[in-house]
Amino acid sequence: MNKLRFFTMLLVGVMMLGMGTAVSATDDHWTAKYWNNTSLSGDPVLVRSESELNHVWGEDAPASGMNADGFSARWTRYVYFTAGTYRFVATTDDGMRVYVDDTLIIDSWYDSQSHSVSADTYLSTGDHRIKVEYYEAGGGAVAQLSWSLVGSTINNWRGEYYNDVNLTGQPVLIRDDVNVNFAWGTDSPASGIAADQFSVRWTRDLPVQSGLYRFTVTADDGVRLWVNGVLVVDKWQDQIGATYSADVSLAGGTVPVKLEYYENRGGAFVQLNWVRVGDAPTPATPVTTPPQSAGSWTAEYYNNIDLAGLPAATRTDSAINFIWGSSSPIPNVINPDNFSVRWTGNLDLAAGRYYFTTAVDGGVRVWVNGQLVIDQWLHNYEVKTYTGVIDLPGGVVPVQVAYFEDAGLAEVRLSWTREGAAMPATETTSTPAFPAGTLAATMTGANVLTVRSGPSLDSDPVTYLSHGQSVALTGYRDYAGYWLEISLPDGGTGWVSARFMTSNVAVMSLAVKAAQ
């Protein structure tokens, strides 16, 4: 390497550090594949591991046996992010595409000189798959990617903007909107958002006094409005400047409000207002509904993914703890794919802060005491864990869980715990050990499973297991769902959920006991 190129790469590295700080990753390297063509077609001529995506090849080839011009590459990696809006910056000569969780966020797939393209996207806490595709046509070759946290605090309305009409995938833009009062006409809402066929979700906790409130929304085109967890306006349709109102009685305090909107063609307009129109009606004497402990859930099963129409089956489920796989929840009644379920129940809970956690392969929403605490109505094709936090005053609270599965495997589980709650007296903080070298397990429950530093979802990620990977077992804990301690290649240990692991009879008995 000549001195000029060395100092050029050194300078680029320093610039990249200034552009963003990488977060801790479940995978500390990129899997890189290279082709001697510009279309990523056929078998790659080179596969290797790379610690960073920061290449300034200039006129040189990426490696021996590679073309200096007319080549392409693909990098993939799982990265752990804390919740927030991240700015991804791609610098490329010639073409580059960047995907986050299979959603295309940067598309610069054309011959060019070296240039940079950025995109902001909101990421939830957890592991996210990053994929970068690149081609070099001729001349100098540059391929770089960095990201940085640009915002996580919303003071007014949280506006999530999507480049489709269905609010699918990750939002292209998240910003703090002071009011929902927009008349875009034929213009785009913001840079990077299409002028037609886009959608927005606004959410906010609204402080109100006790009283009867009239919420009014005007939209061109579709609109849906939830107040205090109740859908009060549902006009998800193409329309021209239609106005709708709903009167809602509120007890006072902080009330969650959510507005969803889409624009198809033509002019774009959306406005939301509310006003107190009177005192709240005197409530009737409530009818007491017996609370559930771990649960007696009223379950409504539908043969569609939208909870639409009348349920095909209704039954009582003792717990929301199902791993159906490719089977039907109710054979010969409910489809094995393209079905949805709504569970409703009441829990008698002591006062405190609660963490409600779902593990799902599919989409899920959870309401607790009328508040939407988990909203992940997404087309997931692997098991993902989501947690919502809520402060409860104590007593009986209503809980509702909605779930859908469109294709592939089906799984849905719900658990909850109170912050600071003492461990059950029968549990211990010690780790029962397996005899060395006697037990192993294979990860079969997901495509990728996070390995954590301790036996809980609150513990830090340290690495991950791939589907089909086998590991030696060193111990287990039997609280908060069974956790297995595994041996790591560096000689240390980590923790994984037993529900995702398959092993011999001894380990399977743990999983069976945990599901009881």
2-29 mean pLDDT:
47
The residue among 383 and 31 whose pLDDT is bigger is 31
Please state the rounded mean pLDDT for residues 269-284. 76
Of the pLDDT bands very low, low, confident and very high (cuts 50, 70, 90), residue 506 is: very low
Angstrom distance (rounded) from CA 104 to CA 84: 18
* 74-107 residue pLDDT tens: 999 998 887 777 888 899 999 999 999 888 999 9
Which pLDDT band, with edges at 50, 70 and 90, does 483 fall under? Answer: confident
Mean predicted confidence (pLDDT) in 12-41: 66
Q: Which residue has the tokens 């006991």?
A: 513
3-state class (DSSP) for residue 26: coil
Q: Is the confidence at residue 243, as pLDDT, over 60?
A: yes
pLDDT at residue 349 above 80?
yes
pLDDT at 403: 95
Of the candidates 158, 145, 153, which has an alpha carbon nearest to the alpha carbon of residue 87?
145
The helix/strand/coil state of 499 is: helix
| Residue 458 dihedral angles phi and psi, to the nearest 5° | -80, -10
List, for residues 125-152, the tens digit of each pLDDT value: 788 999 999 999 988 899 999 888 776 5
Amino acid identity at 238 = D
Q: Which residues contact 34 (CB under 8 A, 6 or more apart)?
A: 44, 45, 46, 47, 62, 63, 66, 71, 72, 73
Of 2-11, 81-90, 232-241, which one has max mean pLDDT?
232-241
Name the fold adopted by 440-515. Answer: SH3 type barrels. (2.30.30)
Contact criterion met (CB below 8 Å) for 186 and 267: yes
Structurally, what CATH architecture does the domain formed by 3-150 represent? Sandwich (2.60)
- pLDDT bracket for residue 16 (50, 70, 90): very low
- The pLDDT of residue 270: 93
**In this predicted structure, what is the pLDDT of residue 151?**
63
- As a whole number, mean pLDDT of residues 267-287 equals 72
Tell me the pLDDT band of 62, cut-offs 50, 70 and 90.
very high
**Overall pTM > 0.85:** no
Sign of the alpha-carbon dihedral angle for 438, 495, 326, 468:
negative
The CATH superfamily holding the domain 297-418 is Galactose-binding domain-like (2.60.120.260)
Tokens of 207: 């402080």
Q: Which pLDDT score is estimated for 80?
A: 86
CA–CA distance, 295 with 292 (Å, rounded to integer): 5
- The Cα 250–Cα 90 span in angstroms is 48
Q: Which of 314-323, 357-366, 457-466 has the lowest mean pLDDT?
A: 457-466
H or E segment and range at residue 14? helix 3-19
Say whether pLDDT at 18 is over 50: no
- The CATH 2.60.120.260 portion of the chain extends over 3-150, 157-278, 297-418
pLDDT, tens only, 356-387: 999 888 899 999 988 899 999 988 777 888 88
Region(s) of the chain under CATH 2.30.30.40: 440-515
Arithmetic mean of pLDDT, 489-504: 77
pLDDT at 393 (0 to 100): 86
d(CA 366, CA 260): 18
Q: What is the per-residue pLDDT for 257?
A: 92
% of the chain with per-residue pLDDT over 90: 26
First to last CA, the chain: 63
- Tracing tokens 């717990």 back to the chain, one arrives at 319
> In this predicted model, what pLDDT tens digit does every residue of 170-205 receive, in sequence order?
778 888 888 999 989 888 998 778 899 999 999 998
Which tens digit of pLDDT belongs to each residue from 396-427? 889 999 999 988 888 898 988 887 654 433 33
| 435 — pLDDT class (breaks 50, 70, 90) | low
Position 478 confidence tier, pLDDT thresholds 50, 70, 90: low
Query: What is the pLDDT confidence band of residue 442, given thresholds at 50, 70 and 90?
Result: confident
More confident residue, 72 or 294: 72
Q: Per CATH, which fold does 157-278 belong to?
A: Jelly Rolls (2.60.120)
